[in-house]
Amino acid sequence: MRPLSLVFLLATVSMAGCQREDHGDIAKLSGRMFVFNYRVATANYLVTLQPLAPITAGSTAEAEFENPRGGAPLSTVEKLFPKTEKIVLQSPPIECVKKGRPYKVTIRLKDADGLLRQTIETSISSNTDQSQLPAKPLVVGPLYTPNPDVFRTDGTTDMSPVQGCSI
């Protein structure tokens, strides 16, 4: 073996050791919480992911959220883009969240061909019970007009929570 070939071989081997170790993960969980919006009387799951590898055009993030009311899980699909710096997944509106109870969330990251690249499973617990949230929006319309179903003309208010939450 020629000395120059040996130097090249050693340099190649040492550079390979400096490469990022690839575990195949596309993203990691960076945040998860429940969002209660008192103004419009809604609650949602909110999950954020931090990309760890380049995102290919046409990739998607599919999230499946346990339904706190019971029944089939709720789902959402978000398109991902190559310059995505943060992946944000939000559930449709939910009802009956109980304080301290963990709710299951499953996220599937798929490439442009629909092939599953990564699955992330986690749970989210709320530090607030949804019974603290009124069932009806406090305001209506773009001018934040007080909702007449909550703030009645006779001076009474209806701040009752969502009904039928047995879980």
What is the per-residue pLDDT for 2?
Answer: 54
**Residues forming beta bridges with residue 3, ordered by sequence position:** none
Contact 123, 64 (CB under 8 A): no
What are 78-102's pLDDT values in tens digits?
999 999 899 999 999 999 999 999 9
**Residues forming beta bridges with residue 38, ordered by sequence position:** none
Alpha carbons within 13 A on the beta-carbon side of 43: 25
What are 13-48's pLDDT values in tens digits?
444 444 434 457 999 999 999 999 989 999 999 999
What is the per-residue pLDDT for 8?
Answer: 45
For residue 52, pLDDT beyond 80? yes
Q: pLDDT band for position 167 (50/70/90)?
A: low
Comparing CA positions, the residue from 154, 100, 90, 91 lying closest to residue 131 is: 100
Contact 35, 65 (CB under 8 A): no
What Rg value do the Cα atoms of the chain yield, rounded? Answer: 24
What are 98-150's pLDDT values in tens digits?
999 999 999 999 999 999 999 999 999 999 999 989 999 999 998 889 999 99
**Residues forming beta bridges with residue 119, ordered by sequence position:** 108
Q: Does domain 22-146 have CATH number 2.60.40.10?
A: yes
What is the per-residue pLDDT for 166?
Answer: 72
Q: DSSP character for 127?
A: S
The pTM (predicted TM-score) of the whole model is: 0.81
Residue 51, Cβ neighbours under 10 Å: how many?
20
